[in-house]
Every structure is written in C-alpha cells, then in structure tokens.
Amino acid sequence: MTENFPISRALNAGLRRALETNDRVLLMGEDIGPLGGVFRVTEGLQKDFGPRRVIDSPLAESGIVGTAIGLAMGGFRPVLEIQFDGFVFPAFDQITSQLAKITNRHEGAVQMPVVIRIPYGGHIGAVEHHQESPEAYFTHTAGLRVVSPSNANDAYWMIQQAIDSPDPVVFLEPKAKYWQKGEVDLEAPALPLHASRIVRRGTDVTLVGHGAMVTTLLQAAALAESEGTSCEVIDLRSLSPVDYGPLLDSVRRTGRMVYAQEAPGFTSLGSEIAATVMEKAFFALEAPVLRVSGFDVPFPPAKLEGTYLPDADRILEAVDRSLAY
C-alpha cells in the first residue's frame, strides 16, 4: 500500500508508528507538544500518546541531550528534536564527548539508542542560526551514525530504522523539502538505513549529494541531458558510514564525478568522499573529482543565500569542467 505524503508528514507517520510499536520510544524537544514543532513534524502526537511520551522540553539543548543519555541508560529510546540546525551547538559537548563515546567507554555493555533530529540547510530565507549545514562536525565524530533522507519514502522508513539502531543517530532533515510530496510505501523499506541509492541512470558524469541537494542534482541532470550529456545521480542517504559501493561502481562506468553540498567545502564531507573515490577508483577516472559547495564563510543573510547555495547552473559548470579534461 502506498500513500502520497510531504516529507514532514512522512516523518510524522514514521514517528507515530515507532511510538505505537515500542512503548520505550519517547519524543523530546522544544514546542513539540501541542504546537507540533516549528515545522509541525510532531503534530498530534502528544494528543494521542500523552505528555509523558511526547515531552515539551525547556529551551536547553544541552539539557535535552543530557537527559536523553540518562534515559537511554535506563532502557528508553529517546528521539530528540533540535528546533533548528544552528541550535545544536549548545548540545555539542553532550553529543560528541558523551553520547558518541559511552558505548565504547563501556566496551559495548551500554548502548545509546538516541536519535537527534535536526532540520538543516538553507532555501527558506531564515535568519542567523536558522540555516546551517553542520554534518561534517558529526561525521567526523566516531561513535555517531549520521543520515539524511531526501524524499518522503526515505523519511518514513529511515526515521524508524534510526530509532531501531542501538547506536546514536544524527538524523538530518532537509527543512527546505519538508513540503515536497512523494509516494510512501507503507509495507516495507526499500533499502537499509546506511545504503546509498542511484536515483537517475547516466553514462557520462556521476553526480552525488544528500538531502535537499539531491533535487538540485536531478534538475542539473535534466538540463545536462538537454545539452547531450548523460548524468547519473546518486543520493548518499547515509553520511556516516558511507556506502561507497554504488559510488565507486558508477565512477568506474562514467569516469567522472561531481559532489555537491550546501556546507562549506573546506574539510567537509565532500572533501572526504572526493579523496576516497580518487584513492579507490583512481585508474577509472578521466578527470579529478570536483566539488560544488557553499562558500567558506558564515551562512549569509536571506537575500544572499541564492548566491551562496549551489544551484543547477553551478553544478553544470562543474560538469562542463569535468568533461573538458
């Protein structure tokens, strides 16, 4: 059975199913109760499951994560909402120094099944601290899993898979795509949590990205096709660990790769993927792996975000440079 949901509603349905099937799952976050969160992802859940399972927390991100660590030690599976990406930094010490390390510190005897939902990225014209792409901080931190859905079906299933994980998961939700609709298969997930996916077949250049950038890559691929260039598009889905199999197979067929991301390019996820692909598929490459990213400056005011964020034209320019080698 399938239904057509926007991503925000798919996440709501996935959280509802997790709450229904496991009474140790609980939600915590600022304004997630009667309001349903800023983006209404938790709308109606407190009404149906009560304030002891859907908990409106104080405005204290460090306290939210610290409380979740204790709850996880007690056998619960907390799912936390950080209201905006830029608000996660007050909780950074709890996430990177405690949550990510406790299982290793106890030699596997203590599990940390905590999910941290973070709406992230640009394209909504928000103010400072409300538009960030902080994925590199978390992918750099051993002990954390990091994932990001780009469509409604993945959102529905990946949030449930993340909740089932015995390890802490940073769940990055592309806020610009909350209202993007898509078919959701309610019967079974298409892929495991940490699998990457080819979303468009092509022969000339491999385009790779995650979250909201996947839509932009598909737009670029469609424009490239009209100019006679066939681009394959891969949705990374999992940022840590990375499923390199489909990327490497694709690059060995096309000989070229462009990675696109909203985050700044210096020491980024794109840097790591470019280096790994060049190490493991060097003799198949006809050109260096190219990166298209945000610039190495703080995320700009709303009027300048169109200049800062990669668009289809910037991706096509990289495709042309790759083909020119």
User: How far is it, in rounded angstroms, from Cα 60 to Cα 187?
Assistant: 37
User: How far is it, in rounded angstroms, from Cα 147 to Cα 194?
Assistant: 7
List residues bridging with 268 in a β-sheet: none
Q: Is residue 107 packed enough to be buried (19+ CB in 10 Å), middle (13-18) or exposed (0-12)?
A: exposed
Q: Which of 106, 123, 130, 140 is catalytic?
A: 130
Q: Is residue 29 packed enough to be buried (19+ CB in 10 Å), middle (13-18) or exposed (0-12)?
A: buried
Determine the 3-state secondary structure of 303 from DSSP: helix
Q: Residue 36, by phi and psi: left (phi above 0), alpha (psi -120 to 50) or beta?
A: left
The whole-angstrom distance between residue 237's C-alpha and the CA centroid of its chain comes to 7
Check if the beta carbon of residue 15 is closer than 8 Å to that of residue 27: yes
Whether 130 is catalytic is: yes
Determine the 3-state secondary structure of 230 from DSSP: coil
3-state DSSP of 173-221: EEHHHCCCEEEEECCCCCCCCCCCEEEECCCCEEEEECCCHHHHHHHHH
Number of alpha carbons in the 13 Å side-chain half-sphere of residue 115: 26
Residue positions annotated with a catalytic role: 130
